Amino acid sequence: MADRLKGKVAVITGAGSGFGEGMAKLFASEGAKVIVADLNGEAAARVASEIGEAAIAVTADVTVRADVEAMVTAATGHFGRLDILVNNAGYSHRNGSMLGVDEDTFDRIFDVNAKAIYLAALAVVPVMEAQGGGVIINTASTAGLRPRPGLTWYNASKGWAITATKSMAVELAPAKIRVNALCPVAGETGMLHLFMGEDTPEKRAQFRASIPLGRLSTPQDIANAALWLASDDAEFITGVALEVDGGRCI
């Protein structure tokens, strides 16, 4: 076991599958204690049990303030501190006309992808300030840097996340809280079918062809980048929106 996160405690939202699951497992293998938070309690429990005693599953909807507070209390209550928060849970409409997205879906996208970052900040920043510092990572997307047609409202929510990241970074720097965004390109997770519109071999080939390194992203790619941002190796890095995209945004 490596120890790049030895002694650290992390809360990762949307950690019941996909990128968040990859982060939870990698962070734990690097010595962190992890709160595996997800709306899907069964998925969170599966991931936490696969990790073992370094992880605790919490069923939490990141759009509900009491749930967000509960996942933070789980970290401080069980492990005594909170060093790393990854706002990773996400929501999207299916690829299609921007006019075809109904109002409830629009609201849900902004509740999960934007408002949750605000709610988490309210709960987490005072804890990190009292500890003398911390790290916040927001899973944004290449969609927020290089928007393509068909995902307009999702793209805009990720642009919001990137701007919030930069503004939080500059405001929280005096408290030694680093805030960065990850911008993955399309990856092999539960959300991929929404981004492609339909999951067919042709669509996958089309997506791969737009990525210079010639493949989709994986949870391991995103977890590796998150690990670096979370670790002390990145102690001078704040306010970046890091593409993990095989060159897609060039």
Residue span binding ligand NAD (CB under 6 A) among the ranges 34-42, 68-76, 170-178, 231-239: 34-42
Q: Is 198 exposed, middle or buried (0-12, 13-18, 19+ CB in 10 A)?
A: exposed
187 contributes a contact to ligand NAD by CB under 6 A: yes
Among 27, 79, 91, 160, binds ligand NAD (CB under 6 A): 91
191 contributes a contact to ligand NAD by CB under 6 A: yes
Contacts of 48 (CB under 8 A, 6+ apart): 24, 34, 36, 55, 56, 57
Write the DSSP string, 88-122: -----PPSS-GGG--HHHHHHHHIIIIIHHHHHHH
13 contributes a contact to ligand NAD by CB under 6 A: yes
Answer yes or no: are the C-beta atoms of 138 and 163 closer than 8 Å. Answer: no
Among 45, 71, 89, 169, binds ligand NAD (CB under 6 A): 89
Q: CB 182 → ligand NAD: shortest distance, Å?
A: 8
186 contributes a contact to ligand NAD by CB under 6 A: yes
**Using alpha carbons only, how large is the chain's radius of gyration in Å?**
17
Site string for ligand NAD, 156-185 (x = CB under 6 A): ----------------------------x-
DSSP state of 65: H
The angle subtended at Cα 219 by Cα 197 and Cα 229, nearest 5°, is 120
63 contributes a contact to ligand NAD by CB under 6 A: yes
- Cα 168 to Cα 87: distance, rounded to the nearest angstrom: 13
Q: CB 194 → ligand NAD: shortest distance, Å?
A: 9
Q: Which residues lie near ligand NAD (CB under 6 A)?
A: 13-14, 16-20, 38-40, 43, 60-63, 88-91, 112, 139, 141, 184, 186-187, 189-192, 195
- Point out the residues that are catalytic: 154
